[in-house]
Structure formats: C-alpha cells, structure tokens
Structure 1
Amino acid sequence: MPEYHPGTDIEIPDAVPTSGFRCAISNTKRYMRHNAVEVKEVCEAAYTGDYALLQEMLSCGDARNLFNGDLNAHVNNITALHMAAMSGQTECVELLLKAKADPHIKESMHFGNDPEDGKTSLEYAKAAGYDDICEILENCETDQPYGWYVPSGDGNNAKMYTCWEWGKAPVKGYFSSRPGAAEANGFDPMKYGTGPLKDDDDEEEQKQTPLTATTRPAAAPVMKAPAAPVGPPPLPVGILFPGQGSQYVKMMSTVKDIPAVQEMLKKANEILGYDVLELCLNGPEAKLEETRYCQPAMFIAGLAGLEKLRQEREEAVTRFQFTAGLSLGEYTALCAAGVFTFEDGLKIVQLRGAAMQEAAAMSKQAMLSVAGLEKDKLASLCKDAAKSEGPKAVCQIANELFPKGFSCAGTEKTILALKDLAEANGALQAKVLKTSGGFHTSLMAPAQERLAKALDELLPNMQPPKHTVYMNVTAAPLAPGTDPKEIVALLKKQLTSPVLWEPSVQAMIKAGVTEYYEVGPMKQIKAMMKRINPKVWGTTTNVEV
C-alpha cells in the first residue's frame, strides 16, 4: 500500500524513509528524495544549540536538507534528545519533542551493563540541573505512551516501530531478571537474585527439575560477547592534553629517563629524522615554536607525561573515563584512548604540523587572544573587522577556551582591526599571539586537504577508542567502540572549525568526572579550568614534563 503525507494525496516514495520513524512536523518536501543528512548532524545541532540548523533539518527545510531518518536512533549510545537535554538546549528539546522524539528511550548500554540501567533524557537533564527541561520532559513522558524498545544485545534500548507498545513502562527488571539475560549482556546474574543460568546438560539438575516445553523459561536474546573479559569499571577521571603554545625549552627534562619514554624517543627520532629531545631540552626556542617542530614535540611530551602519571597513579591511566585534548592535544588524547599507535599518531601529527605551517605561509595570518567579551558580541566584531578588509578577509573565533575567553584567527590586517574593535568595546584583553597562522579557520583549507588524504590512508590501522573522547569540533563524547570513520570525519573538520574547549570541559563535568589531570608542558589547561569551574580547578592536577 502506498504511503501519503498526512492530509494530502502526495505519495511518499517507498525507498526514501530510512526507518519506521515519521517526523510529526508536517512538511510535504520531506521523504521525497534521498539526501546526505545524517542523524549525527541532528545530534550535533541539538547538543550545540544550533536551533536554526535543527529547525531546517526537522521542520522548514527542503528535500535536500530535511532529515529522513530515525530521530530516535542512538549515536554514541545516546539520542539527539539526550544530547539537547544534557547540554541545556531548551528550544532544541522542545523542537525535538514536537518532531516526536521519544522521551522514554534510554541510552544504549555497553556489554557488561544492564540495559535497564540506561538513563533517559530526563535523567540526564536532572543530573545537569536543567529544571525547565526536566519539567518539559516530565510532562511529555506522561503524555506520550511507552513504546517497545530492544531489551538486550548490541542494539539494546533502540525503539522499534509499527509493533505492539506497552503504553506504560514495565517494572524494572522485567526483562533483565529473566534467566539468561545477565549472561547475554555481561552483568552480574545475582543483581535481581535469579542467579546464573542453569546448565541444561547437568543430569542431576534435570533429575530434580525436568524441563519441558511448558516449564522451560524462555531465554533472553543472546548477544555475542567480546573476546576479552570485561575489565573493571572506569574511574571518574579525565585526562586532558594541552596543545601548541604550551611548549617551552627544557621540557621533557623530568621524564626523559623513564624507560617507556626512552623507547618513544628512540622511535620518534627514526620517524622524524632529527633528535626531538635535543630540541625540547636546548631549543632554540624559535625553532621549537615552529608549527612543524612544535606539534610532534607536544604530542610526544603529552604521552611522556602519561607515562609519568602511570608511575604515580597507574589506575588513573588504565581506568580513566574521559579524555580530551586542545587542538593538537586531541591527537594525543586519541592515542591515549587507543585509537592509533604512537608511531602512527606521530606520523600524522608530523604531517599535520608541516601542512599547517605551509598553509600559514601562503598569506599573512595572525591570531588574537580576547578576554572579557560575550561570544555573540565577539562574533559580531569579527564580522565587522572582516567587512572592513574586503572579500578575501577572514576573521572568526578559533577557540572557545573559558567563559568570555577566546582566541580569534584570520588574515593579519583583519585580526589587527579586530584588536582595535575589541579594545574599543571593553575587552579586558586583546593580545596578538606568537603563532604562525590562522588556525581553525578557512585559511587552513590547503592543510585540511593533505591531512584528509593522510587520515583516509591511516583509517584501516585505527581502532575504536577504549575510553570516551570529547572531540573539539562538537564538544560531544565519542564512546568506547565508536567506529574510527566518525573520528576521521571530525579530525578533518577540526583544522577549519572552532575548538569548543570550554563546552567540552563543561560536558565532562556534567557527566560526573570529578578528578582531572593536565598531562603535558605548562599549566595552561588548569589555568583555564579555574575560570571554567573553580571547584573542579581544585581537583585538577598538573603532570609536568
């Protein structure tokens, strides 16, 4: 039977909708053609609060940019509604619910956890303290019937369509307490008091309790277990890596004698073709500041600091929950999370640094540190500065570092004009930085092309992360097990996109991380942490190298 847009005789082509979900916001241009809009783009807009983009994808767009997929699909274990709720995006929450996002859906749980312990969007909003969103979601949970959700396995807690629905949620443990459910999902079979699944081949057991078609309980769907046993749960620890700008002559002096660091340095010299430790210890400073030398040195220094922390508190390294890195530091974080090896990471960082330095040399570029202005005001000043310099001018926010603290980048004349505008509009600081290029702007497009090709070549060697990584481009978490293709896509965008550092840290804090380590040279990340959250600053430790 053909399907029509509600209230019309416009037929929906069979092949266009990608799931049983149908958006409740009427738009007859939806589902009329295939397009490239993916659910992760919806999630990104929901998390960052890009209401205009979200509205275009869910409500007012055309056939090219309306979202045709399942709005309730999990991305990195949570849905778009989860992401909007956890980041306090009230308008986005309301729009998602209007489109028929399901508030009952729980996060999808990794093997080793009970699927019924997954949190709903409401629970995330409560944990973050967003009372207005809590009220909205509570009302919606009351009004919207409880559906049918996959109870077990890889796709647990996913919503199923065009099938029977509960109406009201069953009592907790309805599925997970069934015989075999704990084994299928890898959690403690004594959690609900049912104990481990009996062995059907045990003759004594069969004599005592003969199992027949009418007496045998139905086993839960079996999920394929991972090859390795599940390890201890992660600790509420965040590992943070600095980026370019934290380097200094004499760094690495406190870690150079650690055996694991000596092995790294030996491999690094072979890959780089020069003595990187000599450069770190003795400079010259001008050479160490060059992007092509600085980035490999900072990558090595961050991982060397991790080895130092391993000696001081091993479980913080083996069981940390989250990690993130500032710009170049993101590559160090991904290496620490097991995405690529030290050798592969160093090679890609070396290429990245060289490509960025070459892109910076193509025109006169600069960066400006600005403090004391709201983001919207600064963005407006960037536009004004760009207008004054003509059509080829580039001027934009490059890093969101702490509340009212940013760095901007672009063409040199435009950045100098921005400096004057910022000071005239009450900025507490407007300082031109000693960097070689307009990083995280469109000026890095030539470097982005080279990096993209190298990342594509590296992809077959990359592994899913073993720890959650907060990415610069989205400030959203990539959970353990994430497909490396998603990581590559974000790394490609990173060179020409703003680094959302403060939002990343805020998200980690809201997610419950209570202990942080800044691993690498200097103390810039901890200094920013004091402005982001003074309480968390008190539990942030520097691991100096």
Structure 2
Amino acid sequence: MVQMWEIVGGGDKGGIIVRDGETTKSNQLDDRLSTGALVEEVELKGDRLHYKLVLGTGPPDGWVSTKLKDKDLAVKTDKAPVSSPPPTSVGPKGEAPLPIGLFFPGQGSQYVKMMEKVMDIAAVKEMIEKSKPILGYDILEICLNGPEDKLEETRYCQPAMFLGGLAGLEKLKQDKPEAVSRASVMAGLSLGEYTALCAAGVMSFEDGLKLVKLRGEAMQEAATSGAKKQLMLSVAGLERAKLDPLCREAASKEDGGVCSVANCLFPQGFSIGGTEKAINTLKELAEKNGALQAKVLKTAGAFHTSLMQPAQDKLSAALEETLPNMKPPMHSVWMNASAQPIRPGTDPKEIVALLKRQLTNPVLWDDSMKAILKEGVNEFYEVGPMKQIKAMMKRIDATAWKATTNVEV
C-alpha cells in the first residue's frame, strides 16, 4: 500500500523547501511545497523523502526533509485525497455530460498545409481575421505555405497550433455538436492546455491568442538567449524512479548543468530537457541502463524545465493581467502541472496558479489520461493537427486508443 505524507511545516514561509536530489546540497527548486499538501512516498532515506504531489501546490515531485532539528516538517498520514466529484451539468446550456473527452495537441504536431480542410468554415474565417491584428502577420499563410522551418519556430508554431485546435473544434461542432457542448472532460498537451481552456470557456479567443503569442515568443527567447545550448531527449523503457537519478547524475557532470524530466507521456515514456552536455550524458547513461530508446529531439529548447523560468516570469505577469477577464470553466479540464481536474465553476485564480507552474514543471500527461479513464470517459477526440495524442494513447490504454477519433484540420 502506498504511504501518504502530510506537509505540516513551513506555515510561516509559504511551505517547505524542495530540492531535486536526495542531499540537502542538491539544487533548491523555485517553488515550495505547500503546508497541508498530501504527497505520496516514492522513497524514504533517513529524514529525506522523495515524494509525488497528490494534493496541494508546489513541485509535482522532489525531495524534502521530514524533520528540521526536532521539528516535524512532514508526517505520515492515512488521509486519502478527496477529489471533487464529476459535474452533473456542463457546457453553456448546463446539460448532462456525455462520457466524451476532447484532447488538444501541442507543439510538434504542426505541418505545412494544416488548416486547409477547415479554413472555409465561417467561425474559423472569423478567428483568422481576428488573429491578424493580434499577431501582426497572417498565420494562415504560414500554416498553408510554410516554409516548414518557419512553421517550426516556436513563436509561429504555438499560435498556429492554438488556431488549429480551435478550428478543429468548430469542425467537430458541425459534425457532432453534442461531443463539444456536452463533453465531460478536456485536456491539452503543453501549448494545447491553452486551447483546452479556451474551448472550456475560461478565456476568449483573443485573450488566449495574446497569451499564446507571448508564450511562444518568450519560450523561443529563453531557449536561445542563454550561454548554454538547450536540448531535449526522448527516453522510452525506463521507470521514472530510475530515470530521475540518472538526470541528476548527468546534470552533475556539467558546471551549471540542467537535466530533468519535462514530459511524462505514457508508461516508461518521457522527454527530458536540459543543457547540451548534460542531455548528451543522459543519453549515454540511459542506454547503458537499459533504455529501449534515447533519442535527441528536434526541438527549440528545454521546455518544461527550470531553463524556462525567464519565459514563465513574463507569462505569469500576462496571466495576472488577463485574470479579470477569465471565467470559470464550463467543462472539467485536466491540468498538465497537477494531473488533477479543474471542475466547472472553479475560480480562475486556481487555473492561473497552475499555468504559472506549467512552463517549469513536467507535463503529467500519462497520469492525466489514466485519471480521465477512471472517471468513466470512453469516447475521445484528438482535435487538431496530426495524431500524436492518439499514438500515445495506444501506449496508455489500447481500448481508449481504439475509441479515439482524429478531427483533422
């Protein structure tokens, strides 16, 4: 049985310190683990606890001290997390939900000629026109004609994928309107989380696009302006408990090295971000330790790691400015940073708090999908370009994979 712990210390400091390794000399993470949080024990070594966050705020995983001198910081508990129940009504008309999930892809699913199948839908035409003064360029032109290397640039790719996901939603509304208005859950992979929140009614298209534009530009700048080159590595065939120590070992081999899990995509399937030397070291370590695959990815930067902090700072400020315009969601949205749902009626402040953690913490996609399946959702739509999410679903649950339909754009 899994041992749970409750965080009882740090009440006067906003929580307790979290580090990325077992020793108290390892790197301190930016966020503290909130007082009152419930965590799952991964490993206990003396007074040092390797945890996985279940309830509360703070880094999704890390190492904390259970005691400081003679004072308890964390105590064992038999408390079980109380998750909010599924809603009985969803959507703009407050209808009974159907067991349907809508998933929105992120960066990496773009391709030249995307939007060709949906560009003539009236609502899509309207979004394209609204996007021009916000972006300062014609995103449809880049989607249709590229060139590919331009569409791959983070600053262009993210607005393109945001538009592509919402265009796919309009197509699904035409083909099967109840799948949208009565969907039980929504989720988006990384950038796709903004598409999901827009689809759930949290933010307008215009506000969402402004945030996505800033996000893409800030991430591209954070990826290219540092002294060290950034890389990402795809690793398959290792458990997280084995991969994390290898990341720490790889980071320690480089002065100022960064190497940490960025995306938990499917069982034993991860992407890891960091500095060039550390990532190349991890590739060797992963292969030596039995990984089925360790492949350097063609990405623009070490997304969802501490190297994105400059981008997260800019985005956090913009999120605070947008907060007064935000509305509670009309559907449950599973969030990347927590693998927990925000339910209809949730205060947008809670959503902003999770988005403020998203760029510098791992995307917990695998855990989110498993939780959605437990909730009884059994019909799925990947809304937007390509079939990346469906491919990952095959590794997570074969039955759900067969029940996943792609809404192509």
Is the pair's TM-score, using the shorter chain for normalization, greater than 0.5?
A: yes
Structure 1 residues 42, 325: closer, same or farther in 2, change over 3 A? farther
* Residue 35 of structure 1, CA deviation: 4.8
Q: Which residue of 2 aligns with 1:279?
A: 142
1:157-208 Cα shifts (integer Å, max 9, x gaps): xxxxxxxxxxxxxxxxxxxxxxxxxxxxxxxxxxxxxxxxxxxxxxxxxxxx
In the alignment, the residues of structure 1 paired with residue 267 and residue 222 of structure 2 have an alpha-carbon distance, to the nearest angstrom, of 30
In the alignment, the residues of structure 2 paired with residue 348 and residue 441 of structure 1 have an alpha-carbon distance, to the nearest angstrom, of 19
**Matched-pair identity in %:** 60
Q: Which residue of 2 aligns with 1:342?
A: 205
In the alignment, the residues of structure 2 paired with residue 41 and residue 320 of structure 1 have an alpha-carbon distance, to the nearest angstrom, of 32
In the alignment, the residues of structure 1 paired with residue 155 and residue 314 of structure 2 have an alpha-carbon distance, to the nearest angstrom, of 14
Structure 1 residues 502, 269: closer, same or farther in 2, change over 3 A? same
2:294 paired with 1:313? no
Q: Which residue of 1 aligns with 2:189?
A: 326
Q: For 1:513-524, what aligned pairs fall within 5 Å after superposition?
A: 513-524=377-388
Q: Which residue of 1 aligns with 2:304?
A: 440
In the alignment, the residues of structure 2 paired with residue 112 and residue 48 of structure 1 have an alpha-carbon distance, to the nearest angstrom, of 35
**Equivalent residue for 2:392, pick from 505, 517, 528:** 528
* Residue 43 of structure 1, CA deviation: 7.8
In the alignment, the residues of structure 1 paired with residue 6 and residue 278 of structure 2 have an alpha-carbon distance, to the nearest angstrom, of 44
2:236 paired with 1:371? yes
**Equivalent residue for 1:384, pick from 226, 240, 249:** 249
In the alignment, the residues of structure 2 paired with residue 327 and residue 48 of structure 1 have an alpha-carbon distance, to the nearest angstrom, of 26
* SS of equivalent to 1:323: strand
Q: Which residue of 2 aligns with 1:210?
A: none
Q: Which residue of 1 aligns with 2:102?
A: 239
2:111 touches 2:148 (CA, 8 Å); kept in 1? yes
In the alignment, the residues of structure 2 paired with residue 358 and residue 62 of structure 1 have an alpha-carbon distance, to the nearest angstrom, of 43
Q: Which residue of 2 aligns with 1:485?
A: 349
2:366 paired with 1:464? no
1:245-283 Cα shifts (integer Å, max 9, x gaps): 000101111110111100000101121111111100100
Q: Which amino acid is 1:234 matched to?
A: P
In the alignment, the residues of structure 2 paired with residue 484 and residue 506 of structure 1 have an alpha-carbon distance, to the nearest angstrom, of 25
* Residue 362 of structure 1, CA deviation: 2.0
Q: Which residue of 1 aligns with 2:157?
A: 294
Q: Which residue of 2 aligns with 1:168?
A: none
2:375 paired with 1:511? yes
Moved more, 307-316 or 52-61: 52-61
* SS of equivalent to 2:247: helix
In the alignment, the residues of structure 2 paired with residue 32 and residue 407 of structure 1 have an alpha-carbon distance, to the nearest angstrom, of 32
1:35 touches 1:63 (CA, 8 Å); kept in 2? no
2:286 touches 2:294 (CA, 8 Å); kept in 1? yes
Q: For 1:417-436, what aligned pairs fall within 5 Å after superposition?
A: 417-436=281-300
2:374 paired with 1:495? no
Structure 1 residues 361, 112: closer, same or farther in 2, change over 3 A? closer
In the alignment, the residues of structure 1 paired with residue 6 and residue 356 of structure 2 have an alpha-carbon distance, to the nearest angstrom, of 35
* SS of equivalent to 1:430: strand
Q: Which amino acid is 1:244 matched to?
A: Q
Structure 1 residues 50, 501: closer, same or farther in 2, change over 3 A? farther
* Residue 46 of structure 1, CA deviation: 3.8
2:263 paired with 1:399? yes
* SS of equivalent to 1:526: helix
Structure 1 residues 476, 63: closer, same or farther in 2, change over 3 A? farther
Q: Which amino acid is 1:476 matched to?
A: Q
Q: Which residue of 1 aligns with 2:14?
A: 36
2:89 touches 2:96 (CA, 8 Å); kept in 1? no
* Structure 1 unmatched runs, 5+: 1-24, 68-91, 114-227
1:397 touches 1:407 (CA, 8 Å); kept in 2? yes
Structure 1 residues 307, 230: closer, same or farther in 2, change over 3 A? closer
Q: Which amino acid is 1:541 matched to?
A: T
* SS of equivalent to 1:389: coil
Structure 1 residues 419, 47: closer, same or farther in 2, change over 3 A? same
* Structure 2 unmatched runs, 5+: 17-32, 55-62
Q: Which residue of 1 aligns with 2:58?
A: none
* Residue 377 of structure 1, CA deviation: 1.6
In the alignment, the residues of structure 2 paired with residue 239 and residue 389 of structure 1 have an alpha-carbon distance, to the nearest angstrom, of 41
Structure 1 residues 231, 531: closer, same or farther in 2, change over 3 A? same
Structure 1 residues 42, 48: closer, same or farther in 2, change over 3 A? farther
In the alignment, the residues of structure 1 paired with residue 66 and residue 339 of structure 2 have an alpha-carbon distance, to the nearest angstrom, of 25
In the alignment, the residues of structure 2 paired with residue 50 and residue 303 of structure 1 have an alpha-carbon distance, to the nearest angstrom, of 42
Structure 1 residues 346, 63: closer, same or farther in 2, change over 3 A? farther
1:366 touches 1:415 (CA, 8 Å); kept in 2? yes
Structure 1 residues 337, 506: closer, same or farther in 2, change over 3 A? same
Q: Whose radius of gyration is greater, 1 or 2?
A: 1
* SS of equivalent to 1:292: helix
Q: Which amino acid is 2:126 matched to?
A: E
In the alignment, the residues of structure 1 paired with residue 360 and residue 260 of structure 2 have an alpha-carbon distance, to the nearest angstrom, of 10
In the alignment, the residues of structure 1 paired with residue 109 and residue 86 of structure 2 have an alpha-carbon distance, to the nearest angstrom, of 38
1:44 touches 1:474 (CA, 8 Å); kept in 2? no
In the alignment, the residues of structure 1 paired with residue 87 and residue 69 of structure 2 have an alpha-carbon distance, to the nearest angstrom, of 37
2:96 touches 2:182 (CA, 8 Å); kept in 1? yes
**Equivalent residue for 2:340, pick from 476, 485, 491:** 476
1:47 touches 1:476 (CA, 8 Å); kept in 2? no
1:457-513 Cα shifts (integer Å, max 9, x gaps): 001001111110100011011111111111111111110000000000000001111
Q: Which residue of 1 aligns with 2:121?
A: 258
In the alignment, the residues of structure 1 paired with residue 169 and residue 92 of structure 2 have an alpha-carbon distance, to the nearest angstrom, of 25
Q: Which residue of 1 aligns with 2:77?
A: 96
Structure 1 residues 413, 482: closer, same or farther in 2, change over 3 A? same
Q: Which has the higher contact order (CA 8 A, sep 6+)?
A: 2
Q: Which residue of 2 aligns with 1:18?
A: none
Moved more, 502-511 or 372-381: 372-381
Structure 1 residues 307, 412: closer, same or farther in 2, change over 3 A? same
Q: For 1:159-238, what aligned pairs fall within 5 Å after superposition?
A: 231-238=94-101
In the alignment, the residues of structure 2 paired with residue 271 and residue 491 of structure 1 have an alpha-carbon distance, to the nearest angstrom, of 21
2:88 touches 2:97 (CA, 8 Å); kept in 1? no
Q: Which amino acid is 1:490 matched to?
A: L
* Residue 388 of structure 1, CA deviation: 1.3
* Residue 231 of structure 1, CA deviation: 2.5
TM-score, normalised with respect to structure 1: 0.63
* Residue 394 of structure 1, CA deviation: 0.3
TM-score, normalised with respect to structure 2: 0.83
